[in-house]
């Protein structure tokens, strides 16, 4: 009986947080700037949540789905082209920021571009005191790739908490998705910086979006 009460209370708390997050993201959200270097970022005066993922993982689509804005984050026609930190402010006055990090794993990018990306991202992960959590996006159709493990290792080195988010979850069968979530959770547990949870999302179908919004709000307001 006590376990059932505890589960019911937990569900009620989650539903309350989901509704609070829905209202927060229904409010003002604005693109602020693109920063090619850390010195161009705004003052570190509010919490930040960053989005990381391979090129074409669906990062822009997920940002648009979370915020309920179709054109807030724009997808580059050339994978790996955007090499800046895109900053979005949530709330008015601003309560926290969303940071869209450059996509990684682009095969055709010149080595100097990849090197610049690594410097920019690691400097941000290591030196941004208001960064609360990083969402590492993984394409459900492909699972964790070596380059994803590399970014997870980078987050471990930076001692920055991250959570894995599976994108395009509607593109695979439910049974395959369940197995993928379990395998992904096991893989993430090998990383000390990983948060012990995996989110399955679909920007197209809205799957997992309310729960991810709630997790973002919780991380930003810890």
CB atoms within 10 A of CB 205: 13
Sign of CA dihedral 17, 20, 26, 28: negative
Tokens 């984050």 correspond to what residue? 73
Tokens 């959570």 correspond to what residue? 163
- The CATH number of whichever domain residue 36 belongs to comes to 3.40.50.300
Minimal CA–CA distance to 88: which of 68, 104, 106, 113?
A: 68
The predicted model scores a pTM of 0.91
Amino acid 2: pLDDT: 53
Amino acid 161: pLDDT: 95
Angle at 27 between CA 21 and CA 33, to 5 degrees: 105
The residue segments making up the domain with residue 46 are: 2-220
Amino acid 77: pLDDT: 43
Tell me whether residue 111 is exposed, middle or buried, using C-beta atoms within 10 angstroms of its C-beta: 0 to 12, 13 to 18, 19 or more. Answer: exposed
Distance CA 120, CA 163 (A): 20
Tell me whether residue 23 is exposed, middle or buried, using C-beta atoms within 10 angstroms of its C-beta: 0 to 12, 13 to 18, 19 or more. Answer: exposed
Tokens of residue 126, six digits = 């290591």
Amino acid 108: pLDDT: 61
Per-residue pLDDT of the chain (222 residues; tens, 9 = 90+): 455 558 888 889 999 999 999 999 999 999 999 998 899 999 999 999 999 998 889 999 999 999 999 888 875 544 455 578 999 999 999 999 999 998 887 656 677 877 888 888 888 988 899 999 999 999 999 999 998 998 999 999 999 999 999 999 999 999 999 999 999 999 999 999 999 999 999 999 999 999 999 999 999 987
Q: How many domains, in total, are found in the chain? A: 1
- Verify cis geometry, omega within 30 degrees of 0, for the bond prior to 62: no
Tokens of residue 136, six digits = 């590492």
């Amino acid at each position: 009986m006590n376990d059932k009460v505890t589960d019911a209370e937990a569900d009620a708390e989650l539903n309350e947080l989901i509704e609070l997050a829905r209202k927060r993201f229904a409010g003002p959200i604005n693109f602020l700037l693109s920063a090619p270097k850390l010195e161009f970022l705004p003052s570190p005066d509010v919490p930040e949540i960053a989005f990381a993922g391979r090129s074409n993982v669906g990062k822009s689509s997920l940002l648009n789905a979370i915020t309920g804005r179709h054109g807030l984050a724009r997808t580059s026609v050339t994978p790996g082209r955007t090499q800046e930190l895109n900053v979005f402010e949530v709330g008015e006055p601003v309560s926290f920021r969303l940071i869209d990090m450059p996509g990684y794993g682009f095969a055709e990018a010149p080595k100097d571009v990849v090197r610049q990306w690594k410097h920019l991202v690691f400097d941000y992960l290591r030196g941004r005191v208001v960064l609360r959590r990083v969402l590492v996006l993984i394409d459900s159709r492909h699972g964790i790739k070596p380059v994803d493990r590399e970014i997870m290792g980078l987050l471990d080195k930076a001692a920055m908490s991250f959570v894995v988010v599976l994108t395009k979850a509607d593109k695979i069968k439910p049974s395959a998705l369940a197995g993928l979530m379990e395998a992904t959770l096991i893989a993430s547990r090998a990383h000390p910086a990983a948060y012990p949870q995996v989110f399955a999302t679909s920007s197209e179908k809205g799957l997992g979006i309310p729960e991810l919004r709630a997790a973002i709000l919780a991380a930003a307001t810890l």
